[in-house]
Structure 1
Amino acid sequence: MDLDAYVAEHRAEWLRLEHLLSRRRLTGSESDELIALYQRAATHLSAVQSRAPDPALVGRLSRLVARARSTVTGTSAPSWLTFARFFTVGFPVAVYRAWPWWCGVATAFSAVSFGLIFWFGTQPELASQLAPQSAIKQYVEQDFADYYSENPAQDFAAQVWTNNAMIAALCLFSGILIFPVLYVLVANAITIGEVGGLMVAYGKADIFFGLITPHGLLELTAVFVAAGAGLRIGWSWIAPGPGRTRAQAVAEAARAAVLIALGLVVVLAISGVIEAFVTPSGLPTAARITIGVTAFAGFLAYVFVLGRRAARAGETGDLALAERGDLAPAV
């Protein structure tokens, strides 16, 4: 390659590209010209690098192509701004838009759990059939309360967070099949109902509710949100709605579920800290419950204030149009 001849042939194009890049506003035809010149400059850079890699010319063209690429593709928002937007818009609006699902899950779960608590609690002879009398006595008088303090608080917090995160993840990502989510919910509702019924039947209702309420309100709400979002994915396959294919409906619900999953990592971490440090603490029961109720109410306020505001502004919690990929026309 005759480098001098190559520069002489294309120098005018590079200068024109530099001129367009220096302007703050372009007309439609000038924008098209800029894109075309950017593509040519990128080709020129590749040719120079492979045939006559002059350092000065490669450096000049590299800077020119980088500036043009930034102008054509746009710049990304700073990471801190993306992070802040996720927690002020993306996560709360995704949870808010799914509220009929997770509120429905919470209602059904509570009905089963409290129904079993009442059933076993008012029939001690039925509760005694769940396990030998000695084992039940050991559990209600010592093991239930000891569970929250038998391990170091930081280790217990990590264990609780991991367990709850796995349950939430199972509810979210098996939602397309629906039945695994229902199985997890029913199994946990029965467990809470049986344990609570035993504690009530043997006169330990104050210990049961005093220990489970501080962390349970926020923890179970996070599980309800995960289950609701998961079931929403499954239902979008069954009934995608007008104007959407099943694949489009599932993709939209799944993208929202991923946002919810990321946000629930923080919510479950908070509930894990409460369970490890507040539930077994020496604080009065009223104080521990107040902390739990405050965290629960704060989460609901966060979702329904920020989420509703974002929804009214037209936010959906979904990716931007340019990030969703292209869709083939469908009837």
Structure 2
Amino acid sequence: MKQEVFIARHAQEWATLERWLDRYEGSRRSSKSRLSPSEDGPTELEFPARYRRLCQQLAIASGRGYSPLVVNRLQALMERGHGVMYRPPAPRWRTVADYVLAGFPRLVRANARCMLLAALLLYVPMLSMIGAMQVYPELAHAFFSPAEQAQFEEMYDPTAAHVGRDREASGDMEMFGLYIWNNVSIGFRTFASGLVFGIGAIVVLVMNGVSIGAVAGHLQAIGYGAPFWKFVVGHSAFELTAVVICGGAGLRLGLALIAPGRQTRGRALVEAGVVGAQLAMGGFAMLVCAAFIEAFWSSNGALPAVVKYSVGAVLWSIVLFWLWRGGRGVVDAH
């Protein structure tokens, strides 16, 4: 290959890498933890492949006796890239923090279609059931036994000191453990059931929506809606959103089995499984946060409604803004 053809073929790639390295080194000098890349710049995952390609190009240029200007340029790029490629690993806490603040929300947005479908499968049955219960309150008998109805009504009795739990229930710490077990088990079932070609995830999401909507609709219909909404408004931002994310991860598994594209089903399932597991782990962490809020905040019936609703609004805003904007337009720079 002639030198002119070689340069024309790879010049744009070299220029892109140079700009990215300029910004990377500038961010390190200014102690910034993140780097805003150009649209065609490498991401953290793409950089090793680009660095290896650069080394190959340097070997070709040197072996064929290309101009010292070309060889020296590639040598300088290789040395700068070496500093990025083999930099000391970031502290574990920072890796976790970067994933929570940026990597996880980016991953959720990258699977937006699955997330939207999961949200519809959860919220449409939930809202439909709440509305149906107001028109046909007798529907409660089709979903709950008399004992279950009595239990729900006792838990959300406006006179109860601790809303959302039995009068004989254990203390906050023990309830925290129970909530973690219950929440994470629901999230795991929602995710893992996607292996049944996505049908399992669909069923679990719809059934959860129907169940939550039936309880909420029944309590609203009998006049116990205020204590119920005060109880759920705090932790629902993390809990419901996490269920949607786990459901979206499960649908991602099912989609890989139904439409693997040009890959084999096994290969597509492995790749979807890696992405789905990352989504599910983030969802599980959100469910633990929801359990903490539910045990130590939501159950306190003495707090005024305005406080409960205000905190709930803030938590919903934080969760939605985090998933919408977290990590947008940045890549890891350390």
Unmatched segments (≥5 aa) in structure 2:
1-54, 61-82, 157-162
Residue 288 of structure 1 aligns with which residue?
Answer: 308
Residue of structure 1 equivalent to 2:170: 151
Once residues 132 and 296 of structure 1 are traced to their aligned partners in structure 2, the CA distance between those partners, rounded to angstroms, is 33
Describe how 1:32-71 pairs up with structure 2 within 5 A.
none
Quote how far apart the aligned CAs of 1:219 are. Answer: 0.2
Asked if 2 retains the 8 angstrom alpha-carbon contact of 1:140 and 1:198, the reply is no
Candidates 279, 298, 312, aligned match of 1:260: 279
Counterpart for residue 171 of structure 1: 190
d(CA) in 2 for partners of 1:132 and 1:255?
41
Contact kept in structure 2, 1:232 and 1:253, CA below 8 Å: yes
- Quick one: structure 1 residues 84 and 194, their matched pair in 2 at CA, closer, same or farther if it must change by over 3 Å? closer
Q: Give the structure 2 partner of residue 60 of structure 1.
A: none
**Is the alpha carbon distance of 1:202 and 1:136 closer, same or farther for their aligned partners in structure 2, counting shifts above 3 Å?**
farther
Distance 1:252 1:205, change over 3 A: same
Taking the TM superposition and a 5 Å limit, the aligned residue runs for 1:178-189 are 178-189=198-209
User: Is contact 2:183-2:288 (8 Å) kept?
Assistant: no
The question of 1:212 aligning with 2:232 is answered yes
- 1:240, 1:98 → 2: CA distance? 15
**Aligned-partner Cα distance in 2 for 1:203–1:166:** 31
Give me the CA root mean square deviation: 3.1
Runs of 4+, deviation exceeding 4 Å: 73-76, 128-133
* TM score, norm. by length of structure 2: 0.64
Alignment of 1:120-159 (within 5 A): 120-128=133-141, 135=147, 138-139=150-151, 141-144=153-156, 145-147=163-165, 150-159=169-178
User: Which residue of 2 is the match for residue 93 of structure 1?
Assistant: 106
- TM-superposed deviation, 1:223: 0.7
**2:303 counterpart SS class:** coil
Structure with larger Rg: 1
Displacement, 1:283? 1.6
- The residue that corresponds to 1:248 in the other structure is 267
Using a 3 Å threshold, how does the CA distance of structure 1 residues 79 and 169 change in structure 2: closer, same or farther? farther
1:109 aligns with one of 108, 122, 128: 122
Matched residue, 1:54: none
Q: Which moved more, 1:269-278 or 1:252-261?
A: 252-261
- Per mean C-alpha deviation after superposition, the further-off stretch among 218-227 and 195-204 is 195-204
Instruction: Work out the percentage of aligned pairs sharing the same amino acid.
Output: 26
Give me the whole-angstrom Cα distance separating, in 1, the residues matched to 2:120 and 2:308: 24
Q: 1:67-126 CA distances to partner (integer Å, 9 max, x unpaired)?
A: xxxx9x956613334323322333222112122212222123211111112112222334
The count of aligned residue pairs is: 246
Structure 1 gaps, min length 5: 1-24, 30-70, 316-331
Q: 1:226 to 1:140 in 2, by over 3 A?
A: closer
- Alignment of structure 1 residues 310-325 onto 2, 5 Å: 310=330
